Amino acid sequence: MDHLISPSLLAADFANLGNEINMVNDSAADWLHLDIMDGLFVPNITFGFPLLERIKELTVKPMDVHLMIVDPDRYLTRFRDAGANILTVQYEACTHLHRTVTAIKELGMKAGVALNPHTSVSLLKNILPYVDVVMIMSVNPGFSGQKFIQESYNKIEVLREMIDSGGYETLIEVDGGVDMDNAPKLVKMGANVLVAGASVFGASDPAEAIQRLKLLA
């Protein structure tokens, strides 16, 4: 399959949010990435439900929602109702991961699991058959604009082998420091979805930046 692009709204101009979302709507982007942070699991706070619901009214792209929060099980139904199409939880935040993933899918969303940079992909062996997306965090979660962690390439390569050898259809998503310098290698190593924040919304022409990431040209 061709790789997908999911621009991260965390890096957008919030004073101009409607226009930023319209730009993504009109672009070659496939999904719209939304980072939900609670100030506990990560040292930052972002979107709440009212804003998420408003974004859903404005976007025509599937909402790719990444929960960086403690005890995400409390809010799965509310994120579905707020418009999430893909809901990704942090491996490190889930005591009963299989239960959480199953609940997400029963609510009609695609289920994703994200791994922090220090977490080994080998820990996903028994959950891979049940998830639609694995997100490799290639920066420490919490803030946009961080430097890409080089070890992420190795994690993607190992995960790609695990998915292919198991015959799974799980997508590999990469989030953190993605730009035109590393995107070609990420796709070559097996990434299916690229989350791009600063490299898109910080560009002089964000729609062109999305197009270049989509075509890798």
Name the active-site residue from 35, 38, 64, 179: 35
Look up 13 and say whether it is catalytic.
no
Q: Is 35 a catalytic residue?
A: yes
Angle in degrees, 0-180, between the axes of helices 206-215 and 17-25, rounded to the nearest 10:
30
| Rounded CA separation 110/31 (Å) | 13
* Token representation of residue 48: 């709440």
Q: Which of 38, 132, 175, 179 is catalytic?
A: 175
Per the CB < 8 A criterion, the answer to whether 20 and 12 are in contact is yes
Give phi and psi for 198, each to the nearest 5: -60, -35
193 - beta bridge partners? Answer: 4, 173
**Which residues are catalytically annotated?**
35, 175
